[in-house]
Amino acid sequence: MINLEQLGVYLPQGHLFKDITLQINRGDKIGLAGKNGAGKSTMLKLLSGMEKPSEGRIHTPKDTTIGFLTQDIKIDTTKSVYDYLYFSNELLNRVRTRLDEINHDLVTRTDYENESYLGLLDELTELNDLFAFHEGFQWEEKIASILVGLGFETEEFNRELSTFSGGWKMRAELARILVNKPDVILLDEPTNHLDIISISWLENYLTKFEGIVIVISHDRLFLDNVTKRTLEISQGKVNDYPLPYSLYKIRREEELALMTNAKKQQEKDIKHTKELIDKFRAKASKAAFAQSLMKKLDKTEIIEVENDAVAKMKVSFPLSLQPGKWILEMERMGKTFNDKVLFREISITVGRGEKIALLGPNGVGKSTLLKRIMGTLDGDGIVNYGHNVKITYFAQDQAEKLDVNKTIYETVDDIAEGEIRKDLRSILGTFLFTGEEVDKKVGVLSGGERTRLALCQLLLSPCNFLILDEPTNHLDIQSKEVLKRALINYEGTFIVVSHDREFLDGLTNRIWDIQDKTLKIYHYDVKEYLAKKMTLESNEVKSDPSTGSGDELRVASDGATKAKNKEVKVDLSTPLKVTKELTQEEQKEVKRKKNSLQNQIRKSEEQIEALENKVKAMDEVILHLDYSDKANADKVLAEYDKIKKELDSVVSVWETQVEEMDAI
């Protein structure tokens, strides 16, 4: 349990937040919400101990372990990816070293009856128990499981970490945190460099994790699937909601509507009070009354309502001219880098109006395929465009390509043509650049602001075929919703690469998936695609002889073999288990236990199904809940929490039963 007591952070321009008092309990899965600059990342740094508060205290139990994934990690090591994880646990490192020393002594000494020799045997037993307690004997399997889950190929395990890109280093750091199972996991934008499959894997992992998880993310679906509580930092305060992100947003919008009405009424009351003061302050008989009104006015706490300007953004991409029936044709297209084939023999025609999501793990060639389509990269095959096709390309690093020395206005003025140049200030206002802000240099803008400016450039480039490579990078949830609405209403054709499932859901009518060095096409939505993909991968894991029967993926690898070789002395020092044939009575007892457990598992699964149906029904109730009736709302939310806790309890029992069955 973590307690925040009157926490505050003071900056030169004033308080970032102050008087924050709240409690975080074991098992809490929390999403941190708030506008850019509200203090979300600072809050994680305070909880991690990386920074100290200006005021107040954070009370964390002694020996609490914390894993913190920041956005600006710097890893430059000659260690392999595998060794970076293998040697990351100091306790296991010490135990391994001592076990090696003891094994060496036991092999070389001959004074078997000596007291010190017997003492070594006792210490050996204790260390083996300690090693087993901290899952040391499963360490290499856990490492391989987590690395594969986060998208690493087994042949990459022994590559030097310094040879990987920043995004892959971030994955390695995330893997290091997860494999060590800290009591508290703090994640600042963990999905930024993950592909869709890896994000789904991480969701499953965090859902089962028993400790505290606090996450900042612009991925709405990730927050909904992982978190059950939302802490919103707004105007220097923290608002606490026992709800995942989407439900929190509904309640928050209702609260803001009530606050807006209350603010309007307060402004009327203040205006009326000031009029009375002006009217009576000069009259001797009413002076005392005027003074009391002035004191009352001074004590009035002004209602502040946070304005969500992004929600008011209206963006649309104009169609330059109507193209022919087909937009793009690829014939036997392929690309090879240094004898590595990314894709080959791709032949496909894209029709007018198709909305395509290009998916696949990082590194399979999605951006390369887009560059081949654009003609900016050479390769095998032919690319043809249809009649009147005009393409606009939004690269993954489009925001970084902006000239940092130009102003916001100059950036769009350089690209705009014709009559639209007269409306540049209005268009910039649509993207939340107003007044004197348009004279700011691009170099001082945040990542999200630069992405908005790059999208504004896109708007000023009329076309009928959009190619978008990760357009949501650095955009907050509200800005992504604005972009999504614009693309839904776009009358042209587009291909979009994105790992954001919420953004893609309902946006596209085709899925292109780069698999097995070719392009596979699906005509269903992203949710169905992901469900089928995860099921397929799960079945492949079960049929793989290198995998175990549990939930974790176990992969034989050079790294795992290497780790096992390092640990051979530990294994040899463990007493050998001799397997004997069971008697008839023992066989009957095992059969009885199996039958009993099967019945218990079946009953638990029936309970889980019933409770999940209740949760689903309650989700619908909460979605349309009237929060103005506080008594009823509190009652409904309490019932919802009760059902969720009961479901968690039954699932925990079911997991124990399944483990017992596996053991038998």
Residues 16-53 have pLDDT tens digits of 888 999 999 999 999 999 877 788 889 999 999 999 99
Percentage of the chain modeled with pLDDT above 70: 88
**214 has pLDDT over 90:** yes
The Cα-based distances of 359 to 328, 470, 493, 515, 533 in angstroms read 18, 11, 17, 9, 11
- The pTM (predicted TM-score) of the whole model is 0.66
Q: CB of 244 within 8 A of CB of 218?
A: no
Distance separating alpha carbons of residues 657 and 651, to the nearest angstrom: 10
For strands 518-522 and 510-515, give the pairing.
antiparallel
Distance separating alpha carbons of residues 141 and 550, to the nearest angstrom: 12
For strands 237-241 and 391-394, give the pairing.
unpaired
Q: Which residue has the tokens 């009885």?
A: 592
For strands 493-497 and 465-469, give the pairing.
parallel
Q: Torsions phi, psi of 193, nearest 5?
A: -115, 20
The b/e string for 385-412 (b: 16+ C-beta within 10 A; e otherwise) is: bbeebebbbbbeebbeebeeeeebbebb
Residue type, 31: G
* Top-level class of domain 323-531: alpha beta
Q: Tell me, what's the pLDDT at 550?
A: 35
Distance separating alpha carbons of residues 174 and 222, to the nearest angstrom: 16
* Tens-place pLDDT, residues 279-300: 777 776 667 777 787 888 887 8
**277 has pLDDT over 60:** yes
Q: CB of 294 within 8 A of CB of 310?
A: no
For strands 493-497 and 510-515, give the pairing.
unpaired
Q: Which residue has the tokens 């009961």?
A: 646
Three-class secondary structure of residue 55 per DSSP: strand
Q: Which residue has the tokens 């993310």?
A: 217
Q: Where are the domains of the chain?
A: 323-531, 585-663
Q: Which residue has the tokens 């036991």?
A: 106
Going 401 to 405 to 408 to 414, the CA torsion angle's sign is: negative
Residues 6+ apart with CB under 8 A from 334: 341, 342, 343, 344, 345, 346, 379, 380, 381
Distance separating alpha carbons of residues 148 and 82, to the nearest angstrom: 11
- The first and second tokens of residue 616, run together, are 């689903």
**151 has pLDDT over 80:** yes
Residue type, 315: V
CA dihedral 69, 71, 76, 78 (to 10 degrees): 40
For strands 2-11 and 55-59, give the pairing.
antiparallel
- Candidate ranges 245-249, 483-487, 603-607, 631-635; pick with highest mean pLDDT: 245-249
Q: Would you mind telling me the total number of residues written for the chain in this entry? A: 664
* Mean pLDDT along residues 469-492: 84
Strand arrangement, sheet containing 340-351: 340-351, 326-337, 380-385
**421 has pLDDT over 50:** yes
State the alpha helices, DSSP H only, in 150-244.
166-179, 196-208, 220-226
Instruction: Determine which of 39-43, 206-210, 378-382, 637-641 has the lowest per-residue pLDDT on average.
Output: 637-641
Q: CB of 541 within 8 A of CB of 553?
A: yes
* Mean pLDDT along residues 402-426: 83
* Tens-place pLDDT, residues 105-138: 888 888 877 888 888 888 999 999 999 998 899 9
Residues 6+ apart with CB under 8 A from 541: 547, 553
* Mean pLDDT along residues 353-362: 88
